[in-house]
Structure 1
Amino acid sequence: MIYAEILAGGIGSRMGNVNMPKQFLKLGNKPIIIHTIEKFVLNNRFDKIFIVVHPEWLVHAKNLLKTYGLTDERLMILSGGTDRSESLLAGPRYLQAEGLLTAEDVIITHDSVRPFITHRIIEDNIDSVLKYDAVDTVIGAIDTIVASEDGEFIQSIPNRDHMYQGQTPQSFNVAKLVRLFDDLSEDAKAILSDGCKVFILSGEKVKLVEGEVSNIKVTNPYDFNVANHMIEGDKDDQPSL
C-alpha cells in the first residue's frame, strides 16, 4: 500500500499574534492546509491519506474538510503526538494497531504548511521510496553555509556544492521506519528533528529527490506574505483568520 501523511500538529508559535495554528490561516480563499490536502487528493496512487492534527484542533480540521468539500474516502484525521516524531508515527502506529501494516507499505510524509508541492515531487517520492526505503526532498544550497557550535565563532564553512536544504516530502518504508525508531535510544530520540534522521542515526542510506524553490514552508509572517503573493498577488499582507 502507498500512504500519505500530512503533518499538521504544530501550533505555529513563530507566526506571531494570530489565534490559530498557521496551517489553518487562509491563503487566498482557503486555509493553507486545504491547499496542501488538495494536492494529495489529486494523486490516485494513494490508498489512504492521513492528516495528523493537534488534539485541540481535531474538530476544527474535520469541519474544514466538510466546508471545502473534501469528501474523499481516503482521508482520515488522526491525533498528533507530543512532538514531531510521535506525530510522524501517528499514521504508522494506526496501521500497526489495526493490523494493516505490511513489509511493503510506504508512506509519503509532508508538512501541511508547504502548499506549493508539485505533482512531480510527489511522484518522484513515491517512485523512489518504493526502491530505496527512505527519501528526502532537497534543493541545492544557494547561500554559503557557515557552521558554528557556540553561535559566536565559525567552526567551518562546508563546500556549498555538497550542501542541500531539506524540504518535504520525506518518504519511508513504514515497517522499517517504525522498527528503526523503536530501536533508538531515548537520547537519540531526543535529538530527532525529522524522520530521515531516524535512518541516518541507524546507519541507513537516504535517497535524495530534487525539490523546488517554490516548495516553501510557511513558518512566519514573511513566509505568509510571500505565499499570499504567490497565490493571488499583492493583495493583503496580513494573515486572514
Structure 2
Amino acid sequence: MAISSPRVAVVVVAGGRGLRAGGEVPKQYRLLGGRPVIARTIGAFLAHPAVATILPVIHPDDAALYAAAASGWRDPAGRVRAPVLGGAERQASVRAGLEALAADAPDLVLIHDAVRPFVTPAAVDAAIAALADHVAVVVGTPVVDTVNRTDAAGAVVETVPREGLWRAATPQGFRFSAILAAHRAAAAAGRNGFTDDGAVAAAAGHAVHMVAIAEGNVKLTTPADFAAAEARLAAETFLRLPDVRVGVGYDVHALEPGDAVWLGGVRIPHDHRLKGHSDADAALHALTDAILGAIGDGDIGRHFPPSDERWRGAASSLFLADAVRRVRERGGVVAHCDVAIVAEAPKIGPHREAMRAAIAAACGIPVDRVGVKATTNEGLGFTGRREGIAAIATATIRLPLPEDDAS
C-alpha cells in the first residue's frame, strides 16, 4: 500500500577500505574535483527535497577523515546525522545504519554506496516512486553488451543470453520495516555473505523490483575510474560555468640572512630567507592576487594587511585558501594556475612537483592544472643581484553567468 508523503532516510555506506583505487586514504575520502568523494555523495542527497535524514556509516578508523569531509557540505537543517560505525562486511555496516534509524523509523530508506557520487535527482525520484508499489527496489541499467562466461584460462565457454540481465547500482530502496527485519533475520541465521541489500530482501521472501535509470551512476573502484570521473566532472563543471576570467598577480620580497625560503607552499633550505610579515611566499602571494583579481575582489593586502598581527609568520597557503573560498562562494571554480618564479637561487627545479602538488591541493584542482616554472634574471636587477625573489602568476577561474546575463 502506498504511503502518503513518506519520510525518506538515506543510509550512505562508507565503511570500506577501497584498496583497488590506490592512494593513501580510503576511496570514499579521496578528492574528486577538490572535494572528498563522500562529500559529493552526501551533497547530492542534501540537494534532494524528499530526503529527510542522511545517516553515514563509516569505518571505526575513519572518524578524522569523516570530520574533515563533513566541512565540505552545508546542512543548515541538520539532516545529516552523526555517523555510526560499520562492521567488518558491508552487510553488517548496513544493518548498523538501519538499527541506528530504528528508534525514529522512517517510512522508506534508500541505501547508497558512498563511492557513487554521480547519483542524480532522477535516480532518487525513480527509487522513491517505485516504492509506492513495491517493498524493495534496485536501480540499475539493462545489460546491452554480449556477456560471455569463460573458463580459468580465459577461453569462452558460453555466451549468456542478455535478455533480462541488469547491472545493479544504488540507491536501493526499501520499506524500512521490511529491510530492517530482513537484515535482522539474515544476521540471526548467520547468513553474512550478501553483497547487496536487494539480495538480503529477496532472501527474506520479498520480491525485488528493478528500476531503470540513466547511465552514469558509476561506482568508483579503480584508479581508471577516478581518472574518468575527474574528466567527467571537469567537463560538467565547465559547461555550467561559462563565465571565464583570467587574473594576474605579481609579488616580490627581499632576501635576508636565514636558513630557508618558502615558495609555492614548500620550504626550501637556503642561506637566506624571504623578508615579510607572513612567511613571505612570493609565489603564493602572486597567485592569491591573481585569483582575487579574476573575481574583482581587491588584493592580498586588503584582506590580510601586514599591520594585522594575526598574520605575522602565517603560512601563505591560508591566504590562497581564502581566495579560493571566495571563488567557490560565487559558485565558481579555479580552473588553472600558472606561476613563474624569478630567482638566481635557490634552484626551483628539484621542488617544482612539490609546489604543484601544494598549489593543487589548496585550489582543489588536479595537479595537471597547475604550472610552476622558474627563471633567473641573468644577473640583472635586484633579483640578478640576489637581493630578492619575484613571482608572476596567472589564474583562470570559471563562474556562472550573472542572472542579468543568463538569459
Give the TM-score normalised by structure 2.
0.53
Partner residue in 2 for 1:6: 12
Query: How far did residue 194 of structure 1 move?
Result: 0.5
Partner residue in 2 for 1:106: 108
Query: How far did residue 154 of structure 1 move?
Result: 5.3
Task: Say if 2:138 is the partner of 1:133.
Answer: no
Query: How far did residue 72 of structure 1 move?
Result: 4.1
Partner residue in 2 for 1:44: 49
Paired letter, 2:12:
I
Structure 1, gaps ≥5 residues long: none
- Higher mean C-alpha displacement, 118-127 vs 64-73: 64-73
**How far apart, in 2, do the equivalents of 1:67 and 1:185 lie?**
35
For residues 99-146 of structure 1, give each alpha carbon's deviation from its aligned partner in whole angstroms, at most 9, with x where no partner exists.
Answer: 3237xx210111111111110110111111233110101101132222
- Higher mean C-alpha displacement, 143-152 vs 4-13: 143-152
- Higher mean C-alpha displacement, 177-186 vs 190-199: 177-186
SS in 2 for 1:89: helix
**How far apart, in 1, do the equivalents of 2:27 and 2:187 lie?**
32
Partner residue in 1 for 2:228: 226
Partner residue in 1 for 2:69: 64
Query: How far did residue 153 of structure 1 move?
Result: 6.1
Percent identity, please.
Answer: 25
Point out the structure with max Rg over C-alpha.
2
Query: How far did residue 150 of structure 1 move?
Result: 5.9
Paired letter, 1:78:
V
Task: Say if 2:87 is the partner of 1:81.
Answer: yes
More strand by share: 2
Paired letter, 2:52:
D
Q: Is the 8 A contact 1:218 1:224 kept in 2?
A: yes
Paired letter, 1:101:
A
> Could you say what the CA RMSD is over the residues aligned between the two structures, in angstroms?
2.5
Query: How far did residue 86 of structure 1 move?
Result: 1.1
Q: Is the 8 A contact 2:54 2:80 kept in 1?
A: yes
Give the TM-score normalised by structure 1.
0.86
Task: Say if 2:128 is the partner of 1:123.
Answer: no
Partner residue in 2 for 1:173: 175
For residues 207-226 of structure 1, give each alpha carbon's deviation from its aligned partner in whole angstroms, at most 9, with x where no partner exists.
Answer: 11112221111100000000
For residues 177-198 of structure 1, give each alpha carbon's deviation from its aligned partner in whole angstroms, at most 9, with x where no partner exists.
Answer: 1212222377772331110001
Number of residue pairs matched by the alignment: 233
Structure 2, gaps ≥5 residues long: 1-6, 236-334, 336-364, 369-407
Paired letter, 1:100:
D
**How far apart, in 2, do the equivalents of 1:155 and 1:182 lie?**
39
Partner residue in 2 for 1:193: 195
Query: How far did residue 23 of structure 1 move?
Result: 1.0
Structure 1 stretches of 4+ with a deviation exceeding 3 A read: 67-72, 147-156, 184-188, 233-238
Query: How far did residue 160 of structure 1 move?
Result: 1.1
